Amino acid sequence: MNIPDSSLTRIVIIGAGFGGLKLARYLNKKDNQVVLIDKNNYHTFQPLLYQVATAGLEPDSIAHAIRTLFKNEKNFHFRIADVETIDTAKNTIHTNIGDLSFDKLIVATGSTTNFYGNEEIERNAMSMKTIPEALDLRSLILQNLEKALLTDDLKERKELMNFVIVGGGPTGVELAGALGELKNHVLHNDYPDLDIRIMNVHLVQSGDRLLPGFSDKASAKAEKYLRDMDVHLWLNTRVLNYDGQFVDTNVKDLYANTLIWAAGVKGDLIYGFPKDAIVDNRLKVNQFNQVEGFEHIFAIGDVACMVSEEYPHGHPMVAQPAIQQGLRLAKNLNNLSRSKPMKEFKYSDKGAMATIGRNKAVADLGKYSFSGWFAWMIWIFVHLVSLVGFRNKMVALVNWVTQYFSYNKSVRLIIRPYHGKAKEQPVMKDVEPES
Ligand SMILES: Cc1cc2nc3c(=O)[nH]c(=O)nc-3n(C[C@H](O)[C@H](O)[C@H](O)COP(=O)(O)OP(=O)(O)OC[C@H]3O[C@@H](n4cnc5c(N)ncnc54)[C@H](O)[C@@H]3O)c2cc1C
């Protein structure tokens, strides 16, 4: 991998997501050689993927080139690589571009879509975890409308214009709202010769309310907003199968060419850890983020499961635990290199937010629950502050201000047509732990 030999402690970080990036930025690079590895040369701001998928933002404004964040930093190295296995006995990682030894390793690989073992759904559903997937979805939505315009078969047209979203968490709710806005305010201008009233957005949720984890007030408000936008809500409904056309549920049969799976994630594990170190598809860590059984291997963010009395199933798989763990671990590793003790991680819950559309958002902040314009402004402010890079903040702001006045989601482009999932694409890449 062409990393220079050094007498410093080599700290290897796998993943430049919210957690890995925070850690890499705050690690002391005088005492340590820091190597950051990611599959991509950019950081993805996942909370706004749905806006890319629904033509609200261009992909560049939610991605940030990793190298630009570490310009001229000494003892820092970045490599684009896919880490395939970890040899915990030899302290070495194996990647598609070569092997690398480490003194300390941090796994910050985030999570991947969880299809709960249903290979047929995995083969036929769209997921939205990466920028290429969001772009595929954008293309598919627009391609379907173009096809609907050409067919004389009403059943086929309806199926092309039916969009089923599975999962009533923040991702599903935000996506349903954005598709509802496209239908109600944008598409009739683009397709005057297509009856856009035929288009239907269905949101399927297995529980009895949307936004589990949010307050009752926020979830009731989100439900009202979506119903007002003509989104069909199917609560207490489970999708059992999907063959690319027929959506089999326990309540209502639906037919749709597009099903978007937003019903769960699981830790993006790498081969090489013993069984004891894995719990619920995540790496089991202690309060210092050390992986069970290892003093020098750590995990942070979505892939890490830190069980405590308050969080018996680990922290929620959202950005804040990853960011806070990244920062705490940076301080702890800096302490260690100066022979100072580490401090336990304590999560500070900053609340939860979801936006459904223009002036329509819900926000639970501490014991207060907001909705409407004020919550929407909070949502915009928080996302602008959190986006990485000044240019991205400005582009997003300009887009949102323009859309506020014109309702126009201007990135309705099929740059790279979507032709379905590649046949040879492996499904169900699950990590078999070592026994
Ligand atoms: C559509 C969507 C919407 C979301 N909305 C919100 C929201 O509104 N609010 C919120 O707080 N959270 C939201 N989240 C969740 C949030 O994005 C995650 O919790 C957060 O990204 C986790 O951070 P992380 O550092 O653990 O991992 P990530 O940010 O996922 O980063 C993991 C990194 O590891 C890299 N990687 C993975 N495997 C390998 C490998 N083998 N080799 C090399 N590199 C690898 C990946 O390329 C990636 O860059 C959303 C997630 C999605 C998908």
Ligand 1 mean position to 67 CA, how many Å?
Answer: 18
Ligand 1 mean position to 113 CA, how many Å?
Answer: 11
Q: Which atom of ligand 1 is nearest to the CA of 19?
A: 25
Q: What is the pLDDT along the chain (435 residues), one digit of tens a residue?
A: 999 999 999 999 999 999 999 999 999 999 999 999 999 999 999 999 999 999 999 999 999 999 999 998 999 999 999 999 999 999 999 999 999 999 999 999 999 999 999 999 999 999 999 999 999 999 999 999 999 999 999 999 999 999 999 999 999 999 999 999 999 999 999 999 999 999 999 999 999 999 999 999 999 999 999 999 999 999 999 999 999 999 999 999 999 999 999 999 999 999 999 999 999 999 999 999 999 999 999 999 999 999 999 999 999 999 999 999 999 999 999 999 999 999 999 999 999 999 999 999 999 999 999 999 999 999 999 999 999 888 999 998 988 888 888 877 778 999 999 999 865 454 444 555 555
Name the closest-CA residue to atom 41, ligand 1: 83
Ligand 1 mean position to 187 CA, how many Å?
Answer: 31
Q: Evaluate the CA torsion angle 203, 208, 212, 215 in order and state its sign.
A: positive
- Provide DSSP, 224-293: HHHHHTTPEEETT--EEEE-SSEEEESS--EE-SEEEE-S-EEE---BT-BGGGEETTEEEE-TT-BBTT
Q: Which atom of ligand 1 is nearest to the CA of 81?
A: 43
CB 1 within 8 A of CB 100: yes
Q: Tokens 């749709």 label which residue?
A: 256
Rounded Cα–Cα distance for residues 399 and 51 (Å): 11
Neighbours of 344 (CB within 10 A): 12
Would you state the structure tokens that stand for residue 292, as one six-digit string? 């069970």
CB 352 within 8 A of CB 376: no
Q: Which atom of ligand 1 is nearest to the CA of 84?
A: 41
Return the pLDDT at 405. Answer: 82
Neighbours of 157 (CB within 10 A): 21
Who's near 416: CB < 8 A, 6+ residues apart?
Answer: 135, 136, 139
Tell me the C-alpha to C-alpha distance, in Å, between residue 281 and each of 96, 146, 381, 428: 23, 40, 34, 13
Rounded Cα–Cα distance for residues 344 and 286 (Å): 9
Would you state the structure tokens that stand for residue 369, as one six-digit string? 């629950």
Q: Which of 122, 133, 174, 223 is catalytic?
A: 174
Active site residue 310: no
Residue ranges around ligand 1 (CB below 6 Å): 14-20, 37-40, 46-47, 49-50, 82-83, 108-110, 128-129, 170-171, 268, 270, 301-303, 317-320, 322
Rounded Cα–Cα distance for residues 289 and 316 (Å): 15
Q: Which atom of ligand 1 is nearest to the CA of 262?
A: 1
* Closest C-alpha among 237, 53, 266, 260 to residue 166: 260
- Residue to substitute in 14, 37, 46 for testing ligand 1 pocket (most ligand atoms within 8 angstroms of CB): 46
Q: Which atom of ligand 1 is nearest to the CA of 128?
A: 1
Ligand 1 mean position to 203 CA, how many Å?
Answer: 23
Ligand 1 mean position to 275 CA, how many Å?
Answer: 24
Ligand 1 mean position to 262 CA, how many Å?
Answer: 14
Return the pLDDT at 424. Answer: 47
Ligand 1 mean position to 302 CA, how many Å?
Answer: 7
Name the closest-CA residue to atom 53, ligand 1: 129
Name the closest-CA residue to atom 27, ligand 1: 110
Return the pLDDT at 432. Answer: 55
Name the closest-CA residue to atom 12, ligand 1: 318
CB 332 within 8 A of CB 343: yes
Find the helix or strand (DSSP H, E) in which 65 lies: strand 63-65
Gyration radius of the chain's alpha carbons: 22
Return the pLDDT at 244. Answer: 96
Name the closest-CA residue to atom 20, ligand 1: 319
CB 77 within 8 A of CB 36: yes
- Residue to substitute in 99, 318, 385, 388 for testing ligand 1 pocket (most ligand atoms within 8 angstroms of CB): 318
